[in-house]
Structure 1
Amino acid sequence: MSELYLGRTAPRLKDWGGRLPVALVFPEAARHGLSTLGWQVVYRLLASREELAVERFFWDSTSPRPRSVDSGRDLGLFPLVLFSLNFEGDFPTAIRLLQDADIPVRADARQSWPMILAGGPLAFLNPFPILPALDGIFVGEAEAGLSAVIDKIANAWNSGGDKAAVLEDIAGLPGMLIPGKSTEPVRRVVDASASGNLHDPAYSCFVSSEAQFRDMLLLEVNRGCPYGCRFCAAGSIYKPPRHAELETLQDIVTRCAPQKVGLVGTALTDWPDLLPFLRWLQERKIKFSLSSLRADGLTDELLEFLRHTGTRSVTLALEGASRRLRQAMNKHFSEEAFLDAVTRISRLQFNTLKLYMITGWPDESEEDWAEFESFLGRIDEARKMGQGNRKKGVELVSLSVSCLVPKAWTPLQWATIPEEDWFKKAMKRFKGAVGRFKGMRFAGENPGQARVQMFLARGGEEIFPCLERAAETGLGEAVKEFDEMVRQVLARPLDRDSVFPWERLDIGVSRKFLYSEWTKYKHGMITPPCPESGCSECGICGMDRFLSLPHGS
């Protein structure tokens, strides 16, 4: 991949003569795009190519028409529009951007250019609700094949080629889904072998004070996760688990010379070089920030180093209210290790302990909530134990509870969804439990918004009319108008033979494996994490077969 790094420098504008103009669209506010690595990987991959003129677009609610932040050009002028889809809420925003640019929204109404393609995490999770608006989808990791797709499009555009002809031409390329033309299921393309190495870790192309993670170079430490939590889509769609090499990350930091680095990964404490890398950053007086950590990976040495270097809060994922639920979801979680971590965090006088949890698990009940209230008491005792006679330690324990949204490509894709009133009752129960302890604070997700997310996550092309309406009125109003459709999608029968919209893709993890994990959920059975030796030595989930096949098979 290109080593293009712009930092705070504005991109160089290229003349359009002899080049393919490309609109790279992030359908959210600029602060989110500037803090999203996948979108910046694609920018780096394409913007360094002289035959392309790539410009950036973000969602700006104050602008009547979508315009490039680089040149001010209107989106409707670009022959190739690439959407980066990261969350289901991006669907109506993407449609709105097309509407505001006077581009026909439905692909079947666009016989000529522009060509509208999409990629990003949703492209290999469940992109089908928005498929009617797209000429095609790139399924997988951009590093693994997007360049070949763009080559053919650029050649066609520069030679005055026909859009329909180039769609036929790219339909058979690895990772491309062109409706009605590509052979399905379309295989996800992966920049990986079974070795376990992350050869080309993602890193920021831009550093900005406008970004959600301000003035920070984001750096990918690992991709994928070995633990197999049954609710986590990242554990499936980013398989196989891969770690970056220390020397590679050091080289990136040396070239970019940032003031602050944000480490990104699903399992940071699994990376054996985490502490050596943090020490290396400290020696160069480079500040750093870490995402959520696993309690069983918090060694005394790591915690002491974090506190000594100025870290004031630690974030841990609790996930489920009870031991039974955590075992059912395959959360490899030791209560003893967790409470011990709380004690050590408090002893080292971190100011804040942030805890994350999810509610809405199949068969979750009052019994689980009662156990959680008791566990909160143990957390409070562990915090006080760390304070000792000094009465100084963690001042605030902050609990955030979200609603379970069963995702595609997880064992919980077969799970039924509680009604909104159930979620409201659960949130009230958790808020009451937290309120009994001094120095604890509660924040709960809006159950109504969670139900909308579930609808978008489970739907297929049939929900597109609702998305079109949402582009005009907002999601809240649209789902009210399409209430019957929402109910039908959320009430679909889910059994062993159910066919899901997203199974037009092949991400590598087998359906047989996912259903066996769903069965294990119901029986509270544990599956061990992925072996360190890699997929070729495992053969359980299907990734060994998937990785052994050449792209395009």
Structure 2
Amino acid sequence: MKRVDLKKILKRVEKPSRYIGNELNTTHKDTRSVDLIRYAHCFPDLYEIGMSHLGSHILYNSINLDEDIFCERVYAPALDMEEQMRENNIGLFALESREEIRYFDFVAFTLQYEMCYTNILNMMDLAGIPKLRTDRKNGDPFIMVGGSCAYNSEPLSDFVDIVVLGEGEELNLEVINEYKKWIREKPYENGKNREDFYQRIVGIDGVYIPSYYEFEYYEDGMIKEFNKINPIAPDKVRKRIINDMDRVEYPEKLIVPYIETVHDRIVLELFRGCTRGCRFCQAGMIYRPIREKSFERLKEIVNNMIDNTGYDEISLSSLSTSDYSAIDDITDYLVDNFADENIGVSLPSLRLDNFSMELAEKVQQVRKTGLTFAPEAGTQRMRNVINKGVHENDLYDALSKAFSMGWHSVKLYFMIGLPTETYEDLDGIRELAYQAIDVYKEINGPRLGGKFNVTVSTSTFVPKPFTPFQWHGQDTNQMVKDKQNYLKDRLKHGCIKYAYHDSQTSLMEAVFARGDRRLGKVLLDAYNMGAKFDGWGQHFNLEIWLKAMEKNNLDPSFYAHRQREYDEKFPWDHVDVGVTKEFLIRENELAKQATETKDCRGGCNACGVNTNDIGRGLC
């Protein structure tokens, strides 16, 4: 792309810093090298969102360590930038080289949210890359996807060439390095085609080639058979994990953006996986087993990150940060060594049942960050159903500690529409919000004044693959709206703010989360009718999606609202995440009885990971 073209259009867009690149700690390589493998790491959302995604930074760093591979970043341009690009015939380009990605070897998308799928098609269209896999020819980039949504990538199977399942630091490099060897054999000049490369990589653990499989359906729409159409493809594709978290590469030179992003701070990953077993939580199942970084390695990483970035906040990141076995050691170290430099520490995922006053006191020495807890449900019965592991006195104890230490506000996160939920469970949300007010009065006196507030936030339950609740239906839009209105009426108080998530986007999220290959035509039709940035409420248009579903004789309720039987075949049954279906069924039955399963750190719950080749010996 010509520099003059970029200057011309950036004067006409809202945030030009999204598109200029050259931020501190970016990587640059000589693109004139004929042997350089070009890899576009694409995040199908705005720069501010993508730059806050830790996994993207990790892959960018680990891939660029190979001198023969140039990994560059690409984000979805905002609508004003897209308009300028189309008017000026500018193809989608990578930030580092500003060269069009249609000429790259790989164009890889991170799948973190189902409502970004139309952005993937839009980015391919902006790049001039044929959207349908069957339309791409020799010399076109290979379209690759990975991330949490890739565990059911079937709705995207018409568009992608390669799916990588699991943690990508090693897996992605194995695929690229195999391509490096393959392309140097000049395959296209020797009569070979793209299919030849698929055959080279299909045997790599974690690689799924959608074109090697097909589905048959019953007349009622359910899956009849899943068949391999290439005998060399595995019967089940097994996810990949990193065994040793101390040896894996980590971005110690984190890219520092020019503009504020969603998570504008150092992110220090403590461990991967979770042992809690919340029954609605996909991440808690697919990222097993738990693997920690050592305290010594974390010290090394954080010292380098501070030296290389200049950030004044460190966020300790994991699915359940306070469960890290050396949490006291790492917080002591961070406060003792960096508080005098005005570098603060935040703990974004505190649990009510192990909230530590000592820990909170340490992290607030520099600045008092927000205090957020997630009871998830309003009653003890409901928390037992979802296996949250939080009990009646935990919230009282945590709030008492927090308010005694000077906090004047708290955010409480809940989920509505969970399996077996009743309106009594919604009443429990109100009671917990009012309990927070009562606890504050106990600590600070009866007069609340204007400084105290409780934010109650609810999201809508979306059944996800590989969870005990994958068989349950989602509440209809009307049921969700009724529950939201019920809570609005009961949370009317000067100190309470109620925020809730739009139920219409949750409907389509559920459709694509549990969807099959037939949704590819729906996705393409919706895109052609104008759907994009569907995760943003101001851009989402449910009518477009309903028209696209109707055009293809599909019903959103079939995917989102229907209860599934245990013997039904799922679109993701050919993927092995380590956790067995038998374990998920057992957990679902325990949920119906409102019976908890204990944290597996206290004893194995036989989820399957410890006896599977994926995680044997790591639990």
What residue in structure 1 maps to residue 47 of structure 2?
30
Deviation at 1:406, TM superposition (A): 0.8
Cα distance in 1 for residues equivalent to 2:614 and 2:319: 25
Q: Is the 8 A contact 1:350 1:393 kept in 2?
A: no
What residue in structure 2 maps to residue 453 of structure 1?
509
Deviation at 1:279, TM superposition (A): 2.8
Q: Deviation digits for residues 81-101 of structure 1, max 9, x if unmatched?
A: 111111112211111111222
Cα distance in 2 for residues equivalent to 1:428 and 1:549: 45
Mapped pair 1:295 → 2:352 = yes
Q: Larger deviation: 36-45 or 384-393?
A: 384-393
Counterpart residue identity of residue 453, structure 1: E
Matches of residues 400-439 of structure 1 in structure 2 within 5 Å? 400-435=457-492, 437-439=493-495
Mapped pair 1:399 → 2:456 = yes
Matches of residues 85-484 of structure 1 in structure 2 within 5 Å? 85-113=111-139, 114-124=141-151, 126-161=152-187, 162-179=193-210, 180=212, 181=230, 182-192=233-243, 200=248, 202-203=250-251, 205-213=254-262, 215-256=264-305, 257=307, 258=309, 259=311, 260-282=313-335, 283-284=337-338, 285=341, 286-388=343-445, 395-435=452-492, 437-472=493-528, 473-474=530-531, 475=534, 476=541, 477-484=543-550
Cα distance in 1 for residues equivalent to 2:505 and 2:378: 21
Counterpart of 1:371 in 2: which secondary structure?
Answer: helix
What residue in structure 1 maps to residue 73 of structure 2?
56
Deviation at 1:389, TM superposition (A): 7.2
What residue in structure 2 maps to residue 41 of structure 1?
58
Counterpart residue identity of residue 269, structure 1: S
Mapped pair 1:521 → 2:591 = yes
Deviation at 1:309, TM superposition (A): 2.6
What residue in structure 1 maps to residue 35 of structure 2?
18
Counterpart residue identity of residue 200, structure 1: V
Counterpart residue identity of residue 346, structure 1: F
* Change beyond 3 A, Cα 1:266–1:7: farther
Q: Deviation digits for residues 162-199 of structure 1, max 9, x if unmatched?
A: 42211111011111101214213100011127xxx665
* Change beyond 3 A, Cα 1:53–1:47: same
Counterpart residue identity of residue 487, structure 1: S
* Change beyond 3 A, Cα 1:214–1:229: closer
* Change beyond 3 A, Cα 1:394–1:386: farther
What residue in structure 2 maps to residue 3 of structure 1?
none
* Change beyond 3 A, Cα 1:246–1:380: same
* Change beyond 3 A, Cα 1:164–1:91: same
Deviation at 1:541, TM superposition (A): 0.6
Cα distance in 2 for residues equivalent to 1:428 and 1:201: 48
* Change beyond 3 A, Cα 1:348–1:548: closer
Residue of structure 1 aligned with 2:105, choices 59, 79, 83: 79
Counterpart residue identity of residue 150, structure 2: A
Deviation at 1:144, TM superposition (A): 4.0
Deviation at 1:517, TM superposition (A): 0.7
Counterpart of 2:402 in 1: which secondary structure?
Answer: helix
* Change beyond 3 A, Cα 1:188–1:483: same
Deviation at 1:202, TM superposition (A): 4.7
* Change beyond 3 A, Cα 1:198–1:456: farther
Cα distance in 1 for residues equivalent to 2:29 and 2:70: 7
* Change beyond 3 A, Cα 1:431–1:391: closer
Counterpart residue identity of residue 468, structure 2: P
Counterpart residue identity of residue 457, structure 1: A
Counterpart of 1:310 in 2: which secondary structure?
Answer: coil
Task: Provide the TM-score with structure 1 as the length reference.
Answer: 0.92
Cα distance in 2 for residues equivalent to 1:84 and 1:149: 16
What residue in structure 1 maps to residue 225 of structure 2?
none
Cα distance in 2 for residues equivalent to 1:448 and 1:497: 29
Counterpart residue identity of residue 216, structure 1: R
Cα distance in 2 for residues equivalent to 1:268 and 1:487: 36
* Change beyond 3 A, Cα 1:51–1:39: same
> Number of residue pairs matched?
536
Counterpart residue identity of residue 279, structure 1: D
Deviation at 1:214, TM superposition (A): 5.3
Deviation at 1:418, TM superposition (A): 1.4
Cα distance in 1 for residues equivalent to 2:414 and 2:378: 7
Counterpart residue identity of residue 30, structure 2: K
* Change beyond 3 A, Cα 1:201–1:430: farther
Q: Deviation digits for residues 401-455 of structure 1, max 9, x if unmatched?
A: 00001111001101112111110011111122221x3311110111111111111
Q: Percent identity?
A: 25
Root-mean-square deviation (CA), in Å?
Answer: 2.2
Counterpart of 1:24 in 2: which secondary structure?
Answer: strand
* Change beyond 3 A, Cα 1:388–1:304: farther
Cα distance in 1 for residues equivalent to 2:328 and 2:451: 23
Cα distance in 1 for residues equivalent to 2:362 and 2:422: 40
Q: Is the 8 A contact 2:238 2:614 kept in 1?
A: no
Q: Larger deviation: 369-378 or 328-337?
A: 369-378
Deviation at 1:29, TM superposition (A): 1.0
Cα distance in 1 for residues equivalent to 2:480 and 2:513: 18
Counterpart of 2:491 in 1: which secondary structure?
Answer: helix
Cα distance in 1 for residues equivalent to 2:526 and 2:182: 35
Q: Is the 8 A contact 1:347 1:393 kept in 2?
A: no
Q: Is the 8 A contact 1:107 1:134 kept in 2?
A: yes
Counterpart residue identity of residue 36, structure 2: R
Counterpart of 2:48 in 1: which secondary structure?
Answer: helix
Counterpart residue identity of residue 261, structure 1: I
Q: Is the 8 A contact 2:52 2:264 kept in 1?
A: no
Q: Is the 8 A contact 2:522 2:549 kept in 1?
A: no
Counterpart of 1:547 in 2: which secondary structure?
Answer: coil
Q: Is the 8 A contact 1:149 1:170 kept in 2?
A: yes
Deviation at 1:210, TM superposition (A): 2.8
* Change beyond 3 A, Cα 1:199–1:20: closer
* Change beyond 3 A, Cα 1:392–1:263: farther
Q: Structure 2: any 5+ residue segments left out of the alignment?
A: 1-21, 86-90, 188-192, 213-229, 535-540
Q: Is the 8 A contact 2:523 2:548 kept in 1?
A: no
Cα distance in 2 for residues equivalent to 1:323 and 1:262: 30
Task: Provide the TM-score with structure 2 as the length reference.
Answer: 0.82
Deviation at 1:351, TM superposition (A): 3.1
